[in-house]
Amino acid sequence: MEFYDLVFPQNVGALTYRVPEHMRGALEPGMLVSAEIRKSVRRAVAMRPRREPPEGRLKEIVSLDSEGPVLRGPMLRTIEWMADYYFSNEGSVLKSILPREFFERVKARGSRHSVAEAPSAYSPGPLDGKSLEGAALVRESVAGRCYRTFLYHAPSTRDELAFALEAIRDAEGVVVLVPEHTGMRYVERAVRDVAGERLALFHGGLSGGARSQALERILSGEADVVLGSRSAVFAPLGRVSLIVVVHEDNPSYKSDSGVRYSARDMAVLRGFEESATVLLTSICPSVESWHNASAGKYTLIEGAPRGLRPSVRVMDSRRAGGAIGRKLREAAASRIAKEGRAMFVINRGGYSMLRCADCQNVLSCEGCGVSLVYHKKEGRLRCSYCGSGGAPPEVCPSSGGLLEPAGAGIERVLEEVEELGPAEAEGGGLGVLSDTGERLVVGTRRIARHEAGEGFALTALLNADSYRYVPDFRATERAFRELVYLADKTAPGGQLFVQTANPRAPLFSHIRRFDFAGFYRRELSVRRELGYPPFTRLVLVSSTGAPLAGNHDFKEVEVLGPVPALTKRGKRISKLLLKSSSRKALRLALRRLLKGRPSREITVDVDPIWV
């Protein structure tokens, strides 16, 4: 008799089934089959033959649903590896990495695909000599069919796209990842110009029918270039020669549901399994990727900056006298008067918080304990976690003192810049960056990441400390990255202003000189001393049930917490952070920690990016 382990896209490990007589010799690993699970017949992937079946009565496979393997050996090994690395099971991995349409096709409606109209301002420009030499190295690696990972440190996002296009030219079996499907239209046209009808879009923003159609084209070999967001790294191509991860530093590559995998890390793993080339690109590489390049695991390619970098001016926000300092206001007015454009970035919505002038207490949400945000246009306070709120009190509930604005949000900034001319807030600003050319744009940090719009004569980060003063070892890296992306929006020879309460912080010395090597060297030194990644491994455990217990004595594992926390929906949870340089020790600690706890209450996040 023959037996096979099947994996269903459900939260369960591989299950063993009997192979009926008429299927023997026809079933191969990676084929789609149907079998009964939980009293209903569902589709599964045949994972591997089983020589010795488990004890007990086994169910029989109902049908073969594909003529050959839909997942090849490298993908099957990737699923096995992920289940082990992320402390999960193969069923949960399968459910997290492949869409529902992979198992049950949906009829597509309308045209086969649409060509996105990307703004002409975002078209890639010519590459410098160093970058062209680097792209030739990547193409040579692709042609040699060997595993190798390259890290391209691009001078600008334009160069980043141009380098990716140069690398994929003439390549077959290509996956191109962008962080979010909302930015897909800014690169689709450029990739389609290179790949033509060989291109298939594959991301969460597509309808079920469009995804089904894309899968059919990929599985048939009609499309061998895939452009998508996070899950596209698992696109079931018959052969993979190159995987490109654009903006590899972006946190959106980390899954926030199901199995918490990193698409960037899985690109490197799949490249290894497929004997393929991996290309990571960024204008500000992650500390981990830079470390891997420094250690020789990746090959670093640095492009030569074109034109003048913007001048960087760091200002003391304690002397600003408002959301925008006087000198910054004057500089913006001067630039706008000369037909220039200005962008103000502030990482906070609403108008401000409200603080008592007597007791200095800031009004907080009774349920969540976080500061309430005052929305002046609505005349309401609102909690950014649970959404509750109401009209603000006339005086402080605690001391009876007068309430005054504390800090600033977009509404307050817009109020202060009215004298400079018409301004667009983030919602409108994102839509007009490259179309109407508003002279003044105000938004949160998303606007600095948006693919459209560049060439601002003046840009300003109004509250740099909102990135730095958070209890996260990556805070300084995030602050540096946001400033680099804002500089990318600034015209050559323009000005980048930074408002901070600590202008002497080393971070700002590095950004003034655009000293990337110095910044990474310092940041890695701090992390090594404190024992944080990339020198140790982290596992974040969250519980929605009973609070996690502390005071554990795990060998070779440091335990931080537990601490109470809130989800973005305002739900109370308990969090515990495990830190160790030994993966084996982490596994043993997790096994003891989670023993007897219902899996539905627990989330395990390996290599978390938010702690």
Q: What is the pLDDT of residues 262-305, one digit of tens each?
A: 999 999 999 999 999 999 999 999 999 999 999 999 999 999 88
Phi, psi of 542 (to 5 degrees): -120, 140
- Predicted pLDDT at 564: 81
> Longest Cα pair distance anywhere in the chain, in angstroms?
83
Q: Mind spelling out the 3-state secondary structure of 465-525?
A: HHHHCCCCCCHHHHHHHHHHHHHHCEEEEEEEEEEECCCCCHHHHHHHHCCHHHHHHHHHH
Quick one: which of 600, 587, 592, 594 has its CA closest to 83? 587
pLDDT band at 326 (very low <50, low <70, confident <90, very high): confident
Calculate the CA dihedral of residues 179, 117, 438, 441 and round it to 10 degrees: -10
Comparing 184-188, 228-232, 531-535, the range with the smallest average pLDDT is 184-188
- Predicted pLDDT at 554: 87
Task: Report long-range pairs for 479-482 (Cβ below 8 Å, ≥24 apart).
Answer: 479/507, 480/284, 480/507, 480/510, 480/511, 480/519, 481/249, 481/284, 482/345, 482/445, 482/448
- Predicted pLDDT at 544: 87
Q: Which residues pair with 371 in a beta bridge?
A: 364
Q: What is the pLDDT of residues 545-557, one digit of tens each?
A: 888 877 788 889 9
- Predicted pLDDT at 397: 86
Neighbouring CB atoms inside 10 A of 77's CB total 15
Give the HSE-up count for residue 486: Cα atoms under 13 Å, Cβ half-sphere.
32
Q: What is the pLDDT of residues 219-265, one digit of tens each?
A: 999 999 999 999 999 999 999 999 999 999 999 999 998 999 999 99
Q: DSSP letter for 378, please.
A: T
Q: How far is residue 351 from each of residues 315, 316, 346, 361, 381, measured CA to CA in Å?
A: 22, 21, 11, 18, 10
d(CA 51, CA 72): 21
- Per the prediction, the chain carries an average pLDDT of 87
Question: Model pTM greater than 0.85?
Answer: yes
* β-strand pairing of 199-202 with 225-228: parallel
Comparing 105-119, 215-229, 515-529, 568-582, the range with the smallest average pLDDT is 105-119
Q: Is 598 exposed, middle or buried (0-12, 13-18, 19+ CB in 10 A)?
A: exposed
* β-strand pairing of 311-316 with 440-443: unpaired
Q: Which residues pair with 153 in a beta bridge?
A: 282, 302
- Predicted pLDDT at 552: 80
pLDDT higher than threshold 70 for residue 420: no
Are the beta carbons of 198 and 224 closer than 8 angstroms?
Answer: yes
Are the beta carbons of 347 and 466 closer than 8 angstroms?
Answer: yes
d(CA 282, CA 446): 16
Residue 3, classed as helix, strand or coil, is: strand
